[in-house]
Structure 1
């Protein structure tokens, strides 16, 4: 069913299919979290993800995304995005070898019965400086702050404002403004956009059956970005390192349900005083 401004509202059965897709994504990301170590290439991580998604009975929503023309040229060539160090998002997996001290954002999606899941983690490869550990923690906390701010009858701006407030409170970080979270359901990217900054009580209304992907991108620098010649990889213009995390969630009549978290978000939501809305 379509709601105001083309926003898709899902039935409980459709949300259940999104949960199935979300669990495929969550398990894939946990596999890659363990395997992201020095000496491994981003292409090898992509191959592991592809095998796991297929073995789980799902299909990738990243592979060939954006393809155009009769031969499908220009599409994304991986099932995950692998963005290393100063790469913010949309890094193309390939021959790059991870080194001790790197960080890598791994963004993954899957489709089950036509319904999508989408999530991302940023992983430290070996030992990293304290400022990088703090960056990763600040980004993770901001995502959960945004999810925790969502409530039935609220607005998308409540999420955006909570993310921004959390990042600002954590330290002197840049928030990437040109890329946002998004609605998700029968397609990976749908209205409404979910910016990582903004004023509360603005934007689309939060209603039952709406699903959103929340994904702050936080840098040690200004947050300004540019796209590389591959037309995909987004990097910081000042070379500062960036972290990116993402989860897909929905709101039910009993609380919040994080569809791409293995426990549905129960632990983190409880710590934030937010009712759990999963089954």
Structure 2
């Protein structure tokens, strides 16, 4: 029996949510393609080893008995999504699950955001997501597929990121309705504050104090929900924005 195929975007670092999602899906029997963009990882250093982490992840998935392939993808380029889905199809086959975990994220607020930064956030976080969804729908295998996008409501002091994620939310919810005749479900996961290398000690302490569980979320916490949403058990769940944040948003 042929294994299902997933494409996960934004998997440049070993401490990322995308990295945990790839490992979780491989453990569930998926063959996995994933993207990274080393130029961004170098511009916004958040730990890990962006020069080698993708290759190590491919090796880890292959060691588990699943196929894996990594792609360098500059998602600010509007020609990339169509090429990416075609390349994944050539390497592995038709993609049955699209997990959007990529992000441009550079902190700035109302007064200090530049037009260039604003446009780059929307190009990567919003436009690329729409184009990837469109390309995915054009090649979805018989029986349909799954779309899951990682989102956030962090916007104060992070305006271009938060605004572009808000627009992403609307696109994914529209996809749930428009693509349902193709057998595609589409959902969003808001994991709350997860330390993927962006927190200093003061930030970590302040957020943990606000967390009812007494701890911050981990990439594995987010991956557990994603692996459910792409599974057959979630065929009746679509058009939802699910907060999987340990009660942080209460």
State TM-score, norm by structure 2: 0.29
More strand by share: 1
More helix by share: 2
